[in-house]
Structure 1
Amino acid sequence: MNPVFKKKFDSFIFSFDNENIENYILSRVKDEKKAIRNIDGYSKGPSFGIYELSLWQSINNKLRISCENTIYPTYEKRISKIDNSNYLELELFKIDI
């Protein structure tokens, strides 16, 4: 399965360290050509960068999210210290200007 990348100039990803909204991590896209990624049959939603933020389904059908460091990062910085995790809540926004 080959990934399909979408070019986006203003893409960013972010996360909150805890419930305090002042403790956020914001990472803007560096390589616009690889801002958004989709792999048919593997991804369960849009993924950002190469592995910076990926949504996928595990063998036991749980939604998994991974935030990984890569050798050639697509975004400025890592948004989570956790590599793989199950999440109960996820929000995805598209902003059109």
Structure 2
Amino acid sequence: MDTAGSAATQTAVKAASEVVTERAVARHRKDVMKRYLTTAEVAERYRTSPATIRYWRYAGTGPQCFIRRGRHVLYDAEALDKYDADEIGGRCAA
């Protein structure tokens, strides 16, 4: 009887740990996705159109802190902050 109870307990513990792991993975994905912005979100941030952001990417001007995930292009929000600071710093020094 103890063996059956022990096996049931182990199964329950394993199931609970899988749920916790799935939640942790989902939370991590959500945090990672907050870190990246889409082309449309970057366009909104710079008050321009998504076509302009795509052109900047093509021409090699503007923020170059993007990654490609299949057909998707994502921009690192922290790198955009650094790009903004560098741009402002360069203009103030001139």
Normalised-by-shorter TM-score class: under 0.3
Q: Which structure has the larger Rg?
A: 2
Q: 1 or 2, which has the higher strand percentage?
A: 1
Q: 1 or 2, which has the higher helix percentage?
A: 2
> Could you tell me the TM-score, scaled by structure 1's length?
0.20
